[in-house]
């Protein structure tokens, strides 16, 4: 099976992506754009990923609710993934939150994951050097690859190829795929650092 890459094309995603591209916008606008993109990309992921179950109410009516058999975990790659998570949390309010960063990529991932655990990994820019140890630890602890989704705003073709060689069943949702991302990502990270954290 080939790595599945989904380029989110909802009009609201295009709108907020366009706002994010305008570096002259103030930090509050860029942060709002990231949060909105996190929400709408998560929505795209959930359409075919959430498991619902039918319940009978008052003996003659049935309703669909999110299944209680599955547990959801949002893995936030720091420092920028948390901005996407602001929007994602609104759609998965009962999900457990796991924070990972460059200094500690795997220690905070919970034990006893299983085939009923669904994991959403959030980061602004796809970085396979960070994702690989995270994915390895998730699998070691019992998660299965078909229940893991990655959401990011940008990724590069080289990064996708490297991930695809090892994790061919992985699904990635993004707004942009670039041929060369290193310089562009470094530039955007500098802008975000200046506008969000200083």
Neighbour-count burial of 148, counting CB atoms closer than 10 A to its CB (0-12 exposed, 13-18 middle, 19+ buried): buried
Local confidence band at 1 (pLDDT 50, 70, 90 cut-offs): very low
Q: Which helix (H) or strand (E) holds 97?
A: strand 96-100
- The CATH number that domain 4-197 falls under is 3.40.50.2020
Which of these ranges, 30-39, 54-63, 121-130, 169-178, has the smallest mean pLDDT? 54-63
Average pLDDT over residues 166-195: 71
pTM reported for the whole predicted model = 0.85
In angstroms, rounded to a whole number, what is the distance separating the alpha carbons of residues 143 and 137?
9
Structural tokens at position 174 = 């993004």
- pLDDT of 185 reads 57
Q: What are the backbone dihedrals phi and psi of residue 169, each rounded to the nearest 5 degrees, phi first? A: -95, 5
**Which residues contact residue 110 at a Cβ distance below 8 angstroms, ignoring those fewer than 6 apart?**
73, 96, 98, 141
Neighbour-count burial of 186, counting CB atoms closer than 10 A to its CB (0-12 exposed, 13-18 middle, 19+ buried): exposed
For the segment 29-85, what is each residue's pLDDT rounded down to a tens digit?
Answer: 888 888 899 889 988 888 888 887 887 777 778 887 777 788 899 998 887 788 888
- pLDDT of 150 reads 93
In angstroms, rounded to a whole number, what is the distance separating the alpha carbons of residues 92 and 72?
8
In angstroms, rounded to a whole number, what is the distance separating the alpha carbons of residues 175 and 181?
14
- pLDDT of 196 reads 60
Q: What are the backbone dihedrals phi and psi of residue 108, each rounded to the nearest 5 degrees, phi first? A: -85, 0
């Amino acid at each position: 099976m080939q790595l599945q890459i989904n380029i989110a094309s909802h009009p609201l995603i295009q709108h907020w992506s366009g706002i994010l591209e305008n570096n002259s916008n103030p930090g509050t606008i860029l942060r709002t754009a990231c949060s909105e993109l996190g929400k709408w990309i998560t929505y795209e992921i959930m359409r075919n990923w959430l498991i619902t179950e039918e319940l009978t109410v008052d003996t003659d009516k049935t309703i669909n609710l999110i299944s209680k058999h599955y547990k959801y975990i949002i893995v936030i790659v720091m420092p920028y993934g948390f901005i996407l998570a602001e929007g994602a949390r609104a759609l998965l309010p009962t999900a457990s939150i796991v924070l990972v960063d460059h200094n500690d990529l795997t220690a905070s991932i919970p034990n006893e994951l299983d085939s009923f655990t669904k994991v959403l990994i959030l980061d602004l820019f796809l970085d396979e050097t960070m994702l690989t140890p995270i994915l390895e630890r998730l699998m070691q602890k019992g998660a299965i690859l078909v229940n893991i989704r990655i959401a990011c705003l940008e990724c590069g073709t080289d990064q996708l190829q490297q991930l695809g060689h090892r994790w061919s069943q992985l699904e990635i949702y993004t707004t942009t795929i670039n041929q060369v991302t290193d310089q562009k990502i470094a530039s955007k990270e500098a802008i975000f650092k200046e506008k969000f954290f200083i």
